[in-house]
């Protein structure tokens, strides 16, 4: 029997080795991403779910379409649905896209997600890890953090505690969508100003 608290090495895709007591439950997350800023795909293009680390917005884009974890749908920041992705065949992008066509269609415009697959050094999602976590305290901190970040309860004075090894990602609007209405209006305003 393996001692859950014993140090063990986890090999990364890049060949780098990290010494840890266990694998963290949540590896990365995105908060309140806009449904309208996702390229849902067309024709042979499957679409994307793009983000960059909040602490390094100039980093390469990461596509989270194949992420596994839990997600929350919101209607103007009001929570309307909680679901999971990756337990079966459907990953995060597939589940979100399904909700654009099912009974939730038109009832949500933002989503948050909490992923269990880490981003490796090449900027791709790593293989899914088995659920060996450091301590009960860390797992409970992650569950609490998910609930706090997802629901933003008014009486919580502290934020969720994921720990330093968990990365928040900010959404990046896919160029395949084209300009926003605001960008088009700005361009028209600039063109008129030049005349």
Would you list the DSSP string of 94-158? HHHHHHTTSTTTTS--EEEEEESSPB-TTSSBPPPPP---S-HHHHHHHHHHHHHHHH--TT--S
pLDDT at 195 over 80: no
Q: Domain residues for 187?
A: 25-194
Q: What order do you get walking across the sheet with 110-115 strand by strand? A: 62-63, 50-53, 167-171, 28-34, 110-115, 69-75, 78-85
Summarize the confidence of residues 100-125 as an average pLDDT: 93
Relative to beta strand 167-171, strand 28-34 is parallel
Is residue 11 included in any domain, yes or no? Answer: no
**Higher confidence at residue 137 or residue 103?**
103
Is residue 16 included in any domain, yes or no? Answer: no
Summarize the confidence of residues 112-130 as an average pLDDT: 87
Is residue 20 included in any domain, yes or no? Answer: no
Is residue 3 included in any domain, yes or no? Answer: no
Is residue 116 included in any domain, yes or no? Answer: yes
Is residue 5 included in any domain, yes or no? Answer: no
Is residue 9 included in any domain, yes or no? Answer: no
Summarize the confidence of residues 55-80 as an average pLDDT: 94
Distances in whole angstroms, Cα of residue 102 to Cα of each of 65, 71, 75, 156: 19, 16, 15, 33
**Higher confidence at residue 130 or residue 163?**
163
Distance CA 81, CA 89 (A): 20
Percent pLDDT > 70 in the chain is 82
Mean pLDDT of the chain: 81
Looking at the 3D structure of the chain, how many domains does it have? Answer: 1
Distance CA 45, CA 175 (A): 13
pLDDT at 4 over 70: no
pLDDT of residue 133: 58
pTM assigned to the model: 0.75
**What is the per-residue pLDDT across 89-103, written as a single tens digit (0 to 9) for each?**
899 999 999 999 999
């Amino acid at each position: 029997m393996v001692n859950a608290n014993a140090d063990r090495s986890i090999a990364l895709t890049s060949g780098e080795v990290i010494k840890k007591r266990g694998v963290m439950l949540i590896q990365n997350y995105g908060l309140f991403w806009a449904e309208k800023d996702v390229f849902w795909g067309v024709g042979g293009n499957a679409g994307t779910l793009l983000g960059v680390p909040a602490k390094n917005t100039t980093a390469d884009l990461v596509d989270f379409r194949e992420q596994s974890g839990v997600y929350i749908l919101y209607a103007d920041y009001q929570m309307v649905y909680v679901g999971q992705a990756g337990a079966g065949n459907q990953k995060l992008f597939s589940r979100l896209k399904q909700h654009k066509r099912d009974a939730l269609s038109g009832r949500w415009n933002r989503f948050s997600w909490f992923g269990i697959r880490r981003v490796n050094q090449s900027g791709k999602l790593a293989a899914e890890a088995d659920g060996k976590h450091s301590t009960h305290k860390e797992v409970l901190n992650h569950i609490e953090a998910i609930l706090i970040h997802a629901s933003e309860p008014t009486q919580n004075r502290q934020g969720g505690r994921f720990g330093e090894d968990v990365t928040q990602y900010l959404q990046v609007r896919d160029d395949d969508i084209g300009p926003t209405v605001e960008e088009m209006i700005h361009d028209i305003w600039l063109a008129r100003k030049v005349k």
